[in-house]
Amino acid sequence: MKRIIGFFALLASVSCTKQLTETPHSFLTPSNFYKTAADAQTALNGVFSPLQAQTYYQRTVYIVGDPMDMWYPNPISGDRGDLYAGTYTGTNSEVTNWWVNSYKLIKNANDVIAYVPGINMDVPTRNNIVGNAHFLRGMAYFDLVRAYGDVPLLLAPYSDSVPLYPKRTAAATVYAQVIADLQYAETNCVHMAQIPTADIGMISTEAASAMLARVYLQHASTSFANASDNQNALAECNKVIAYAQANPTVLTLVSSYASIFAVGTKNGPECLFSIQFGAAPNAVNLTNRMFDPTTLPTYGGYGSLIALNSYFNSFDPEDTIRRDVAVGTVSGGFHWISKYRDPGVKAGASGRNNFIVLRYADVLLMQSEALNNINPADPTKFNGINQVRTRAGLANKLLTFTNTPASSDFINALVNERAWELGAEGQRRWDLIRLGKYQSIKAAQGYTIDNNHLFFPIPQSELDVNPNLVQNPGY
């Protein structure tokens, strides 16, 4: 999204003392900034821009979300090693990054949601901008609630009426707000086909529907699940699938798996929402350097994250299409994650790859998951997952009741399929927790994860400054 690639300085929340009589013309405040449609778009850019930070969706997203059974940090020590081993504490820098940057985004989203509706501008455009802000706030709170459980729920700009030391809000209430935000976005954002080229990267109705499906499935795995969660998830998946069937040039399961991640074909018709990166001076993405080996002259990466041999070997021998994209780099006797390679930049340079948050293949897999949860005997549950397998060259190895007879067999197959299809896309931890496999998979690696560590600790730096926060059990 061209208008979002540039970083936006956070709007200063300046309150004047009673003694100050001059109008502070040199400061941006809500009263003197939110005047025009251009101001509204600039403010929305400020909601998107934190996502590009290394400590958020440029790096931390997969550091906290993926070190399970696909790759390991090099070395297996320090904060990243603790995330891999499940021994993280409240001083873990990446656990802190995830919390801090989520609330930075929420602060900016709250400003847009509060102030943009008062701007005199084209109503559908205004609604779309506010809808985008609701989506991003909902996504950020979803990231927080599934990571930490109960978290402070702040829904208004900072003011004297907003508590300086907010307490944690029950996770069930946070989830309800996430769903409300995403439903607002689903109603008020435009459809994918209506997003102009200059605005690629903004949120569509279909992205909101897909994120709602993800939220409902995760909610269904909680202790406060609703009986309708899986049915709601299925309904949201079906909305996206129906749109894709009616608009195949806009949204589809593309024929080439590699093209999803290639820089020259990014933002293709499989991508529902991606964090936008590009060439300097715009925001570049160091993800390629995190996963690339240090070997020169070809790579020159950091060698920070190494693919597990077990992940490479887990692919079906005929699943070379995905394996060669996901772990196609071999150097120094190791396999390396290769999804984010950018051969168009010099060795050691950051890449131009987007980071994909939502794509159509995930919707198909979520549809299958929801159908299995609703009725394990429903044969249509194989449709979505088999479309994904067919694209991977496994049309002769589709799932049926013959080879996947029980619901538990289907879950095992889904756990594997999501690793092969969505590996290193920041979803693995949440998938394994939702599907009840996190502890057993880590146990097989020699790590014991107790129930308390299904949530991250509240960052110690937050506890130090907020006396109303209470640490999660077990930390």
State both tokens at 162. Answer: 């907003």
Residue 151 maps to a domain: yes
Question: Domain residues for 313?
Answer: 287-353
**By three-state DSSP, how is residue 72 classified?**
strand
DSSP 263-274: GGGTT-TTEEEE
**What's the CA gap between 129 and 52, in Å, rounded?**
19
Assign residue 93 the CATH number of its domain. Answer: 1.25.40.390
Residues 42 and 163 occupy one common structural domain? yes
- What is the number of alpha carbons within 13 Å of residue 58 lying toward its C-beta? 21
Tell which residue, 472, 470, 461, has the closest CA to residue 100.
461
- For 316-352, the pLDDT digits (tens) are 999 999 999 999 999 999 999 999 999 999 999 999 9
What pLDDT is recorded for position 67?
86
User: What are the tens digits of pLDDT across the range 104-122?
Assistant: 999 999 999 999 999 999 9
Residue 318, in any domain of the structure? yes
pLDDT at 419: 98
Listed residues 313, 329, 353: the one ending a domain: 353
Instruction: Tally the C-alpha atoms within 13 A of residue 181's C-alpha that lie toward its C-beta.
Output: 28
What order do you get walking across the sheet with 329-331 strand by strand? 71-73, 305-307, 334-336, 329-331
Does residue 417 lie in a domain region?
A: no
Q: State pTM to two decimals.
A: 0.94
Same domain, 159 and 294: no
pLDDT of 388-406, one tens digit each? 999 999 999 999 999 999 9
Q: Are 46 and 175 members of one domain?
A: yes
Q: How far apart are CA 400 and CA 283, in angstroms?
A: 45
412: left (phi over 0), alpha (psi -120 to 50) or beta: alpha
Report the residue count for the chain: 475
Q: DSSP strand E in 162-295: where?
A: 271-275
239 in a structural domain = no
> How far is C-alpha 398 from the geometric centre of its chain's CA atoms?
28
CA 17, distance to chain mean position in Å, is 41
Return d(Cα 431, Cα 418) in angstroms, integer.
8
Residue 138 maps to a domain: yes
Give the residues across from 205 on adjacent strands.
none
Question: Which ranges of the chain have pLDDT less than 70?
Answer: 1-26
Look at residue 133 and give its three-state secondary structure. Answer: helix
Terminal CA-CA length for the chain: 41
Q: Please check whether residue 177 lies inside any domain of the structure.
A: yes
Q: Domain check: are 56 and 177 in the same one?
A: yes
Q: What percent of the chain has pLDDT over 70?
A: 95
For 295-313, the pLDDT digits (tens) are 999 999 999 999 999 999 9
Does residue 114 sit within a domain? yes
Q: Which of 153, 186, 219 is the last residue of a domain?
A: 186
- Is residue 362 within 8 A of residue 210, CB to CB? The reply is yes
How many domains does the structure of the chain reveal? Answer: 2
Shared domain for 52 and 172, answered yes or no, is: yes
Assigned domain for 389 exists: no
| Same-domain pairing of 61 and 171 | yes
pLDDT of residue 31: 79
Nearest Cα neighbor of 34 from 133, 151, 105, 104 is 133
Last residue within a domain, chosen from 141, 158, 186: 186
**How would DSSP label each residue in 321-367?**
HHHHHHS-EEETTEEE--TT--TTS-TT--B---EEEEEHHHHHHHH
